[in-house]
Structure 1
Amino acid sequence: MKYLSFVLAVCVAITGAACSSKPKAKQLSPLALMEGGVKPQAITLTEQGTHAYQAKQFEEAKGYFAQAMAAAPQSGQAHYNYALALNALGDAEAARQHFLEAANLAPGDKVIWDSPALAPFGNPTSPKAYKEHPYGTSRPTIGGGPR
């Protein structure tokens, strides 16, 4: 009976440890450009940038993605890919601008909007939090009326 209790306790401990471990962060991948209305050159540059990004050659990927973005400036995916490379290189502020631009250019693209890369930068449509009093900046008076 003691042996069975010991085995059961070990199994519970192993199962608990396996369940409590944090899942690894999902590796972010560049997005393919939508072929409708995008120059073939932009698609080729994006493919080259994707290969460089996956090889962790972020500076090279940034160059390809910048060229793809110049060839397809209205592509949310192009801005997203460029932002991924900027983010990987540690340029968080520039990455933020391009993540937001990608979200604005691709309003229905759930991959862009739900991306963990965009999440730290907040919802671009929500108003910024202000430190001002919510009812204005006038000073309160006794009785709540105007002076």
Structure 2
Amino acid sequence: MNQLKVSIQQSIIVLTTRGWSRRRIARELGVDRATVGRQLRRAEAEANAATNPTLGSEGDPSSNAASNPTHGSESELPPKPATNPTLGSASGPASRCAPFAVQIAAGMEAGLTAQRIYQDLVCEHAFPWSYQSVKRYVRRQSVVH
């Protein structure tokens, strides 16, 4: 039977609360996106079960409200956080390539590849970041224009 390690389960929950998409979580942790979704549903169900225990044979919940705070007013509970982090802002953090936008745009207009633009930035402008950041920036700029 396949089971996720506890560290992976906790990582999924933590990364979701930090606003990561399910796709990004799956890619970074090396698990399937469906696995991430199942884990989030399971965690939400466990959280709901913990905050809404069944009464069993305790009788009327209103008579027990003073001694059992879980049966008190619902307005006292803090609101639940949003479960869909993808509804946040559409753009991520500012690109590391932004200070080099002029040089990158010139390279794109000259028909250079992202790899060549990266190599020029490293040689001519002491670009400290990775090729991947240039590749992402060029891809975004290609879609915009």
TM-score by length of 1: 0.25
TM-score by length of 2: 0.25
- Structure having the higher helix fraction is 2
